[in-house]
Amino acid sequence: MRYLSTRHTPGQSGESFCDILLEGLAPDGGLYLPETYPQVDADTRARWRTLLAEQGYAALAAEVLALFVDDIPREDLQAICARAYRTPAFSHPDIVPVTEVEDGLWVAHLSNGPTAAFKDMAMQLLGELFEYELGRRGNWLTIVGATSGDTGSSAEYALRGRQGLSVVMLTPAGRMTAFQRAQMYSLPDPNIINVAVDGVFDDCQDLVKAVNMDADFKQEWHIGAVNSINWARVVAQVAYYVATWLRVSGQVAPRTGADADTMTISVCVPSANFGNVCAAHIARSMGIPLDTLVVATNENDVLDEFFRTGVYRPRPGSETLATSSPSMDISKASNFERFVHDLLGGDSQRVAELFGKQLERDGAIDLSDAPEFARVRSDFGFVSGSSSHADRLAQIARVEAEDDYLLDPHTADGVHVARQWKRRVEGPMVVMETALPVKFAETIHEATGHLPPVPERFQGIEDAHQRVVDLDNDVEALKELIATRVRPGA
């Protein structure tokens, strides 16, 4: 299995999984994808069903990853997954359990990890992969990342104290909840450096990309990535779509008389950066029976606009709204390029033109008249919808009252949009949970009149001492911070 940038030149040779694991963003500014997606037939799906039932999620994840990783011995990959997906690091033994909250509407629980967010599903694996490969090479890495709320804490909890790894995590000043800030800023580990940038998430993300595009600085400071521009993040998420399909189809098929190994489900994914739903797209492309992929956004509806109109129009920071589902307050979907690459049949030169010159010149990519856009739903299964503050409050209140289940605001966005599409798609509709409600107490209280329960492991977290460095929105200032604060090889 070899990997190429979405902007590669014809005839370019591919790279190995472990090389791109440490590299993150490709040198040409593109994102890595496998040369082809492995295909999964009905026999493999049936075998995976037995594996999940008998050996659990970690064993399934190792099997899925093995299709994409041929430079880590199988027994080592199995051990890596076993360390990543274990209790009590994850509070539920199924790792990804599913619940039917009402007839035909399900939730896949992705927030049982150390930071109560779905990002733990990829980050716990990424931490193990980084430590394994750096140890194998005798090397070190400086992770420079950006977060709108959940990626940062998930990455830091996965990488804290690990040999050969330093983390510089950029956050948008004043744009996260108190709980989210406390999760990150209270970590005392010397290899963790939190940075509050004077800007929005997209500004943080632009700084990360700018550092990655400086080839000399990147080489000198061994810069790597944990944002979903890193392919390992995305492929880790593919595994939970496989598990979700196996678990939901396994419960629905016996009562409907359907064949569990061929029945389809649809998924609704709250998404702004496109990494989570990109993993669903890849699982579908591999042959996992996902019917419709529903993209749910909040008021920052860049992705919804594209799937409705064919126009991808990133917004500047001044137009990126601060909402009550803050982890989706993003207006530049950094993973969207991967899907456009597939939509255009792998035409990397056209992708380079669109995401390089055209996006810079026009501030938008217009595929509304392109013949490929007509295939977005028919061939790729994508539809979309958006949600407002009032919508998410209504869904939180309704689901608690009717189904005795408390949603976080982002999952509420997903439920709102899922209800719009539920009767227009085949099979069960599964909303991919994003976080536990404890992270968004103010919005939960507004919706329900009470605060969310606080799991024991988070008691008193907001009272802990916090460490954070303030930074101007300037790439040279970020480089200086890295050069003065990071300890090479630590």
How does pLDDT run across 267-294, given as a tens digit for each residue?
999 999 999 999 999 999 999 999 999 9
Contacts of 490 (CB under 8 A, 6+ apart): 140, 164, 166, 190, 191
Question: pTM of the entire structure?
Answer: 0.93
At residue 490, the pLDDT reads 61
At residue 417, the pLDDT reads 98
Angle between helix 74-84 and 120-137 (nearest 10): 130
Q: Tell me 105's DSSP state.
A: E
What element of type H or E holds 280?
helix 275-286
Phi, psi of 228 (to 5 degrees): -70, 5
Does the CA dihedral 360-366-367-369 come out positive or negative? negative
* Amino acid in the structure at residue 171: T
At residue 310, the pLDDT reads 97
| 3-state SS, one letter per residue, for 419-434 | HHHHHHCCCCEEEECC
| Answer CATH for 98-114+235-448 from 3.40.47.10, 3.90.1660.10, 3.40.50.1100, 3.30.1370.110 | 3.40.50.1100
Task: Give the number of residues written for the chain.
Answer: 490
At residue 316, the pLDDT reads 87
**Per-10-residue mean pLDDT, the chain, length 490:** 95 94 89 97 96 98 98 97 96 97 96 94 95 94 87 90 92 89 92 94 90 92 86 96 98 93 96 95 98 97 97 91 92 94 97 93 95 96 98 98 96 98 93 95 97 90 93 96 85
Q: Which residues pair with 432 in a beta bridge?
A: 108
Phi, psi of 315 (to 5 degrees): -100, 150
At residue 24, the pLDDT reads 81
Q: Is 49 helix (H, G, I), strand (E, B) or coil?
A: helix
Cα separation, 368 vs 370, in Å, equals: 6
* Amino acid in the structure at residue 186: S
At residue 489, the pLDDT reads 66
- Cis previous bond, 93, omega within 30: no
Q: Which residues pair with 429 in a beta bridge?
A: 105, 266
Residue 393 in tokens:
């409050």
Cα separation, 271 vs 290, in Å, equals: 17
Scan for tokens 């979405």, then name that residue: 6
Closest CA to 426 of 297, 280, 296, 263: 263
* Amino acid in the structure at residue 346: G
pLDDT, tens digit (0-9, with 9 covering 90-100), for 435-478 = 999 999 999 999 999 999 998 888 898 999 999 999 999 999 99
Does the CA dihedral 120-153-279-129 come out positive or negative? negative
- Write out the DSSP string of 107-144: EE----STTSBTTHHHHHHHHHHHHHHHHHHT--EEEE
Q: Is residue 86 within 8 Å of residue 123, measured between CB atoms?
A: no
Cα separation, 440 vs 409, in Å, equals: 7
Residue 317 in tokens:
């920071």
Closest CA to 375 of 347, 349, 340: 340
